[in-house]
């Protein structure tokens, strides 16, 4: 894979994606704990929680790969 022409911008967008995923997970958790989530929305919330979690794994996995590359 070729390097991104602007790594700072690339990491900014990845970081933004991760922060929005964390925010989404907090919103879903708040809705569950406060009881404001209708029953018919629960499958959608579960799917979104998986998607947000995958985004976080992608971000932190990318960080780990970059850290390993930097050591070599």
Q: According to the model, what pLDDT value does residue 2 have?
A: 62
- pTM of the predicted model over 0.95: no
SS3 56: helix
Average pLDDT of span 27-45: 91
- Mean pLDDT over all residues of the chain? 87
Residue 72: band (very low, low, confident or very high) from pLDDT cuts 50, 70, 90: low
Q: Can you tell me which residue has the tokens 């590359």?
A: 69
Separation between Cα atoms, residue 15 and residue 2, nearest integer Å: 20
């Amino acid at each position: 894979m070729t390097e991104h022409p602007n790594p700072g911008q690339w990491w900014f967008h990845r970081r933004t994606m991760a922060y929005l995923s964390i925010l989404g997970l907090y919103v879903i958790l708040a809705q569950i704990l406060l009881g404001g989530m209708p029953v018919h929305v629960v499958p959608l919330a579960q799917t979104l929680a998986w998607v947000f979690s995958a985004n976080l794994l992608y971000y932190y996995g990318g960080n780990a790969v970059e850290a390993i590359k930097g050591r070599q």
